[in-house]
């Protein structure tokens, strides 16, 4: 078996069914081996999109995502999306073509050290060789999926693909396990003695599917819960214990609740989204997670175990009726403030129309920008739908390629991307990928002609607006873009009609929503 055949067969056996990227000459043998193994290659318009699509594919399927790029600029482009998989915690293999051994330290076209490039952006980086190929591939898949999951880079030297494997696989060493928590009794004492506990649930809890266990726990132990943005949907916003989302719009209202707490319980809370120090009062912290993390809070206790063990430990926790009542009060206050912002054609108005119009099973992908702060706080995520965003990495341009990946995985579900005009422009070329793959997505572009979140931050620093203006007038100025229909919406009525028309279409549609951005300054919390 050749190296290319081995890699293709291992990935197929692992469950990989497609990989994403832009090919180069040295990648042709790998593409052919993958094709013969039944793994489809998805051509993208930019390598960063390929990594985003691999990331989102992993989130939706539970199978390691795979992306590919060629030398130099291909690898550097890919690295942006690979960093997203690292900080958004998605298992991914990033494959790049590399120079053969004799050219590694030579000055030659497109030649850079890919291991040095990817080392800070991945959990591990390897340069594949014929002798250790089997072990390296196995190690890469295991490492990518160990807690926290993330990307692994595999360099593929030119000329290696057709080399026959020289030795059988060597068994992988057992990964080092995190040492068990030595302070279980102290955790129990803190939990049992708390009268005003607050649960902060985050990305790890969402990723590990802890929602049902959380619901069962809250039936017996009603305490308030705040969520991080990527945990949106872990607890229904109608639940009596739900208070709101940290970091996103109007989250300053949550301070009344957090200030009342005598104990904070981090439940799968990943600080990569929002550090505890940014919002937590000076009270004890018990942090339940699947691995040790770098907390810098004096007196904090970390309990490292699987999610089911978290809830076993929490059984000594008492309910907190006064705190849940306060959570309900704040939840109502936030909802009222958002409703008040639906006057005129604001981003809140447009989002409210989308909430009312889209099927419950819709998969929504959200780009980065001011609109994300509103979306994260006000979007209800039914059990049949999903909300996919980036918050650990927070790279603009995420929304469109994420939507394409979702549509490839779930062709039976409606997929909607909500993006700003700035984010859309970063990966606008992927619209042609949607056409090429015959995908139906709805791209809703909140068009306000500026990088609004940056302009807001300039105003917070009393700086004059600069470098944030994108365009004057319509972004598209046409009824099509790269062959996809563009529907303008300038008020609520037009927005409702545009959404209905897009849902009925058999093809992808872009809705350009000309929103009034003035409400952002009232709703987005200064950071």
Question: Are residues 327 and 188 part of one domain?
Answer: yes
> Are residue 135 and residue 10 in the same domain, yes or no?
yes
Query: pLDDT tens-digit profile of 40-51?
Result: 999 999 999 999
Is the residue at 133 inside a domain? yes
Domain CATH number, residue 426: 3.40.50.970
pLDDT tens by residue, 292-335: 998 988 889 999 999 999 999 999 999 999 999 999 999 999 99
Average pLDDT over residues 481-510: 98
pLDDT at residue 24 is higher than 90: yes
44 and 119 inside one domain: yes
Cα separation, 379 vs 371, in Å, equals 11
| 326/357 same-domain check | no
Please report the pLDDT score of residue 298 as a whole number: 84
Q: Are residues 326 and 416 in the same domain?
A: no
Of 300, 333, 366, which residue constitutes the final position of a domain?
A: 333
Range of the domain at 441: 341-523
For residue 176, being part of any structural domain is answered with no
pLDDT band, very low/low/confident/very high, at 99 (cuts 50, 70, 90): confident
Per-residue model confidence (pLDDT) at position 186: 84
pLDDT of residue 176: 36
339-383 pLDDT tens trace? 999 989 999 999 999 999 999 999 999 999 999 999 999 999 988
Same domain, 495 and 417: yes
* Closest CA relative to residue 422, chosen from 448, 441, 402, 401: 448
The tally of CA atoms less than 13 A away on the side-chain side of residue 485 is 15
Task: Tell me 317's DSSP state.
Answer: P
The answer, yes or no, to whether residue 170 has pLDDT greater than 50, is no
- Among candidate residues 311, 333, 355, the one where a domain is terminated: 333
Residue 82 lies in a domain: yes
- For the chain, the domain total comes to 3
Q: In what order do the strands lie in the sheet with 509-513?
A: 386-388, 363-366, 415-420, 441-446, 509-513, 484-489, 480-481
Q: Are residues 442 and 296 in the same domain?
A: no
Domain assignment present for 166:
no
What is the rounded average pLDDT for all residues in the chain?
A: 94
Q: What is the pLDDT of residue 167?
A: 54
For 482: left if phi > 0, alpha if psi spans -120 to 50, otherwise beta; the answer is left
Q: How far is CA 276 from the centre of its chain?
A: 20
Q: Which two tokens stand for residue 211?
A: 């929602």
């Amino acid at each position: 078996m050749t190296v290319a055949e081995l890699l293709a067969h291992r990935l197929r056996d692992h469950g990989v069914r497609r990989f994403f990227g832009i090919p180069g000459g040295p990648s042709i043998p790998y593409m052919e081996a993958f094709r013969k193994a039944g793994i489809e290659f998805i051509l993208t318009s930019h390598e960063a999109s390929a990594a985003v699509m691999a990331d989102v594919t992993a989130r939706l399927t539970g199978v390691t995502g795979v992306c590919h790029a060629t030398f130099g600029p291909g690898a550097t482009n890919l690295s942006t999306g690979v960093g997203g998989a690292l900080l958004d915690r998605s298992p991914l293999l990033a494959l790049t073509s590399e120079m053969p051994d004799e050219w590694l330290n030579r000055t030659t076209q497109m030649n850079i050290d890919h291991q040095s490039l990817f080392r800070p952006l991945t959990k591990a980086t390897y340069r594949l060789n014929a002798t250790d190929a089997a072990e390296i591939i196995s190690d890469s898949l295991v490492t990518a999926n160990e807690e926290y999951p993330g990307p692994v880079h595999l360099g593929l030297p030119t000329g290696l693909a057709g080399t026959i494997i020289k030795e059988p696989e060597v068994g992988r060493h057992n990964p080092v396990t995190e040492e068990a928590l030595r302070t279980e009794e102290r955790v129990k004492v803190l939990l049992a003695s708390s009268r005003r506990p607050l649960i902060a649930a985050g990305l790890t809890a969402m990723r590990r599917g802890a929602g049902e266990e959380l619901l069962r726990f809250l039936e017996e132990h009603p305490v308030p819960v705040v969520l991080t943005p990527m945990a949106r949907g872990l607890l229904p916003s109608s639940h009596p214990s739900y208070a709101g989302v940290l970091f996103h719009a109007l989250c300053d209202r949550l301070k009344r609740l957090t200030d009342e707490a005598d104990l904070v319980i981090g439940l799968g809370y990943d600080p990569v989204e929002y550090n505890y120090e940014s919002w937590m009062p000076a009270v004890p912290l018990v942090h339940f997670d699947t691995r040790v993390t770098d907390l810098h809070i004096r007196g904090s206790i970390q309990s490292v175990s699987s999610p089911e063990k978290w809830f076993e430990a929490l059984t000594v926790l008492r309910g907190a009726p006064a705190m849940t009542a306060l959570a309900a009060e704040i939840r109502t206050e936030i909802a009222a403030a958002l409703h008040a912002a639906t006057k005129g054609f604001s981003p809140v108005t447009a989002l409210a129309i989308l909430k009312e119009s889209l099927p419950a099973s819709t998969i929504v992908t959200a780009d980065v920008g001011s609109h994300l702060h509103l979306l994260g706080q006000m979007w209800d995520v039914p059990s049949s739908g999903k909300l996919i965003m980036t918050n650990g990495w927070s790279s603009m341009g995420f929304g469109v390629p994420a939507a394409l990946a979702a549509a490839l995985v779930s062709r039976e579900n409606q997929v909607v991307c909500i993006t700003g005009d700035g984010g859309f422009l970063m990966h606008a070329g992927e619209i042609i990928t949607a056409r090429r793959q015959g995908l139906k997505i709805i791209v809703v572009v909140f068009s306000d002609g500026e990088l609004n979140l940056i302009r807001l931050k300039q105003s917070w620093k009393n700086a004059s607006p600069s470098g944030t203006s994108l365009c004057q007038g319509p972004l598209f100025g046409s009824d099509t873009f790269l062959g996809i229909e563009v529907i303008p919406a300038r008020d609520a009525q037009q927005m409702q009609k545009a959404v209905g028309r897009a849902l009925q279409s058999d093809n992808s549609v872009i809705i350009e929503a000309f929103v009034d951005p003035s409400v952002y300054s009232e709703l987005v919390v200064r950071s």
